[in-house]
Chain A
Amino acid sequence: MRIAILTDIHANREAFQSVLTDLSDRGIDRYALLGDIVGYGPDPEWCVDRAMELVAAGAWCIKGNHDSAIANPAESLNITARRIVNWTRPILSDEQREFLDRLPLTKQLDDILFVHASANDPADWNYVSSETRAIGSFEVSKARLIFCGHCHVPTLFSEDLGGRIKQQRIPPGMAIPLIRTRRWLAVIGSVGQPRDGEPQAAYAILDTDTNELTFRRIAYDVSATVSKIRRLGLPESLAIRLNTGA
């Protein structure tokens, strides 16, 4: 089975559409959306609609902290993120808000675990941004493969038979064999707001038959999203971030 893993779409219609178009002829059997469909971006309705369609067609969708903050204003967020969530909330329909609120925090499939942030206390939204911060996920879960988002930076960790956790280099666009002598934790980069210095939308494809994971990047019309952000008067820092991918 080939699973397309997308995360942190962040209401970026152009990026989301580019990724979906790119995936349309890649023989994908299943979509996994790891949360944060809304927040930061100018097109929350369109993005939630697409997510709902995908779920209706069999996709798995996990809740992210921005999705959670729509129904739960007490959710801890930085000032910019809170401002956008407050702007997003009234735009969404009741049906859309309910969809986001009902999303699960994790999805387990055989030996694979999908989660938005660190797998230990998923609702605490901890960042998996270093070898040390990856320990929690490996400890709490028995899954052989763990996939998460939240960091917006594609990262790959492995835990060897001796329990040592190492960050691994990611060769972009190349299939990485997730060898069975190790457990793996992959932080999939963000579709709608990359932060690793590359503005292209990030996602990944897992092939469970060949046991290989491929991190991919795809260009989208950044300037279109940026002008929408400016036209709507959303914070300029969000526009700059999309341009630089930083």
Chain B
Amino acid sequence: MHRPRPGLEIDGFTLGECLHKGGFATIWDVNHPDHTHPLIMKVPTLLDGYDAPTIVGFEVEQMIMPRLSGPHVPRLIAIGDFSEMPYIVTERISGPSLLTLFSTAPRPVSEAVEIAARMAEAVHELHKQHVIHLDLKPANFLQRENGKMVCIDFGLSRHDHLPDLLDEEFTIPMGTFPYIAPEQFLRQRGDLRSDIFALGAILYELLTGKLPFGQPEKLTAVRKRLWRDPVPPRGLDRTIPEWMQEIVLRALEVDPKDRYQSAAQMMFDLQHPRQVRLTARAQRTARDGAMVVFRRWRVMRKVRGFASPPSTGAQISKAPVLMVAVDLAPDMEALGQHLLLSTKQMLVIQPDARVACVNVIKTARMGIDQTTDDNGEHLHVSRLLALRDWAASLQLPEDRLTFTVLEGPDPGQAIIDYVQKNHVDHVMMGARSHSATRRYLGSVSSHVVAEAPCSVSVIRLPQHGVVAEPEIAPSEDQRQEG
């Protein structure tokens, strides 16, 4: 078997300089005549004899990486097995490593929120591809030049649809101790909310420059996070806003059911700070007292595991982001009520859904828009109030409900942009009745049905006594009659 060295040629790849030496692998700059883009090669560092953890980690990556795609993972080029030299060649991500940034933490809130949102976006993309990373830490994020985060190192990951080579393989919990979730300590590997916990720890570090649970070296110290709470970020720095502490501490909850239920929901809060509902978490400035911790210890020391979802896919579809596009025009009131009823019905089947109520103000393509009405009331604010009023009877807790007023010359496009930016899983919207104009110019709903990258339900009022000509919607099967 070969050992990696500069100049070594293997399967057409020529090794250049060694870019990084880690505990389990070395990273090399490589060239290949068929590839013009910069590439890197990861070679596991094998100890003499049978080095189980490194080999199994490499095997897991070998199984999972070919299944992953999209901008949030490095593009896989080639894999070499143990017959000559084990390696994985991927594209080289040109942007800076997050590790450098974290060495300069604490970072300003405005920067931290942006980075954390991008990280959550990347993690949600992994989850959507049935992969739980299980070793998220600053060193395992890279950033592309366009700002998109890339997750790397899948050696401890788990894919819903593949055998888990790591399951029960080792008797100790695996992961990076400062970031691993309590259930990972209990050797549970099937909960995507473990990644939410790690994101919480990463965000904590970014904001405070400290690790929420220190740098434990022994397992007994890792176990303490089952009952010992971290110092609240505002206890370290009062300039950190309450909403930010709310997000961090919610992600760091001990029981997975108390955390964000998906990375998309965490990202949503990071993108809408003013709508984060503050709880007691936001107010805290010190850790819990000795008696509270003692009582918690008495309960938690006996815990052997937490309820985990049947699969990553099931967890994601259980906690969707549901967008309701509400038309607030006076003549649309009946349709609005019908849409409200349909939304309530949807919440019965998807009780963990988070609902984003959105209204679009159509602006002129050119010229100055009038955003203040005749009475001097700001249009934006009045629309927000009307949205809240519309949604009041949904009776959802505030943390599962947001209100957004969008502006744009093309309402359909504004809705589609919002869907993409916020990883909306399902759009519900009303459609006005038929008219010749809409048939020729296209309606907002048909535009959204055709182009939104998610399910769309179009709600229409029953039309009594009118035999309408069938409208040709681009995607009939997705249309749901209200």
| A170 smallest CB distance to B (angstroms) | 7
Determine which residue in B55, B81, B162, B164 has the highest number of CB atoms from chain A within 10 A of its CB, and name it: B162
B7 contacts chain A at the CB level, 8 A cutoff: no
Q: What 1/0 mask marks residues of chain B from 36 to 73 whose CB sits below 8 Å from any chain A CB?
A: 00000000000000101001101100110010000000
Determine which residue in B82, B161, B163, B164 has the highest number of CB atoms from chain A within 10 A of its CB, and name it: B163
B374 contacts chain A at the CB level, 8 A cutoff: no
Consensus secondary structure, chain B interface: loop
Q: Do B163 and A170 touch across chains, with their CB atoms under 8 A apart?
A: yes
B91 contacts chain A at the CB level, 8 A cutoff: no
B167 contacts chain A at the CB level, 8 A cutoff: yes
Q: Do B55 and A171 touch across chains, with their CB atoms under 8 A apart?
A: no
The total number of A-B Cβ pairs within 8 Å is 49
Q: Do B162 and A162 touch across chains, with their CB atoms under 8 A apart?
A: no
Known A181-B62, A181-B82; contact A161-B163, beta-carbon cutoff 8 A: no
Known A161-B50, A162-B52, A166-B169; contact A182-B162, beta-carbon cutoff 8 A: no
A180 (CB) vs chain B CBs: closest residue: B81
A3 contacts chain B at the CB level, 8 A cutoff: no
B160 contacts chain A at the CB level, 8 A cutoff: yes
A156 (CB) vs chain B CBs: closest residue: B163
Known A160-B55, A161-B82, A162-B50; contact A177-B165, beta-carbon cutoff 8 A: no
Interface residues of A in 154-176 (CB under 8 A from B): 156, 158, 160-162, 166, 168-171, 174, 176
Q: Do B82 and A169 touch across chains, with their CB atoms under 8 A apart?
A: no
Residues from chain B with Cβ under 8 Å of A166 in the complex: 165, 169
Residues from chain A with Cβ under 8 Å of B83 in the complex: 180
Q: What 1/0 mask marks residues of chain A from 95 to 134 whose CB sits below 8 Å from any chain B CB?
A: 0000000000000000000000000000000000000000
A77 contacts chain B at the CB level, 8 A cutoff: no
A210 (CB) vs chain B CBs: closest residue: B66
Query: What separation, in Å, do the CA atoms of A138 and B82 have in the docked complex?
Result: 19
Q: Do B167 and A177 touch across chains, with their CB atoms under 8 A apart?
A: no
| Residues of B within 8 A of A (CB-CB), count | 21
Q: Do B63 and A179 touch across chains, with their CB atoms under 8 A apart?
A: yes
Q: Do B82 and A171 touch across chains, with their CB atoms under 8 A apart?
A: no
Residues from chain A with Cβ under 8 Å of B82 in the complex: 161, 180-181
| B142 smallest CB distance to A (angstroms) | 25
Q: Do B169 and A171 touch across chains, with their CB atoms under 8 A apart?
A: no
Q: Do A169 and B164 touch across chains, with their CB atoms under 8 A apart?
A: yes
Query: What separation, in Å, do the CA atoms of A180 and B86 have in the docked complex?
Result: 11
Query: What separation, in Å, do the CA atoms of A169 and B163 have in the docked complex?
Result: 5
Q: Do B167 and A169 touch across chains, with their CB atoms under 8 A apart?
A: yes
Among B56, B66, B160, contact of A171 (Cβ-Cβ < 8 Å): B160
Query: What separation, in Å, do the CA atoms of A177 and B165 have in the docked complex?
Result: 12
Q: Do B62 and A176 touch across chains, with their CB atoms under 8 A apart?
A: no
B163 (CB) vs chain A CBs: closest residue: A168
Query: What separation, in Å, do the CA atoms of A161 and B56 have in the docked complex?
Result: 10
B82 (CB) vs chain A CBs: closest residue: A181
Query: What separation, in Å, do the CA atoms of A168 and B60 have in the docked complex?
Result: 13
Q: Do A176 and B163 touch across chains, with their CB atoms under 8 A apart?
A: yes
| B140 smallest CB distance to A (angstroms) | 22
Q: Do B56 and A160 touch across chains, with their CB atoms under 8 A apart?
A: yes
Query: What separation, in Å, do the CA atoms of A174 and B169 have in the docked complex?
Result: 22
Residues from chain A with Cβ under 8 Å of B52 in the complex: 160, 162
Residues from chain B with Cβ under 8 Å of A182 in the complex: 59
A168 (CB) vs chain B CBs: closest residue: B163
| B60 smallest CB distance to A (angstroms) | 9
Interface residues of B in 159-210 (CB under 8 A from A): 160-165, 167, 169
Query: What separation, in Å, do the CA atoms of A180 and B58 have in the docked complex?
Result: 12
Give 13 A-B pairs besides A171-B161, A180-B83 with Cβ atoms closer than 8 angstroms. A156-B163, A160-B52, A160-B59, A162-B50, A162-B55, A166-B169, A171-B162, A176-B163, A177-B62, A179-B59, A179-B63, A180-B82, A181-B81
Task: Please report B residues at the A interface, Cβ cutoff 8 Å.
Answer: 50, 52, 55-56, 58-59, 62-63, 66, 81-83, 86, 160-165, 167, 169
Q: What are 27 A-B contacts with C-beta separation under 8 Å? A: A156-B163, A158-B163, A158-B165, A160-B52, A160-B55, A160-B56, A160-B59, A161-B50, A161-B55, A162-B50, A168-B164, A168-B165, A169-B163, A169-B164, A169-B167, A171-B160, A174-B162, A176-B162, A177-B62, A177-B63, A177-B66, A177-B162, A179-B63, A180-B83, A181-B55, A181-B58, A181-B81
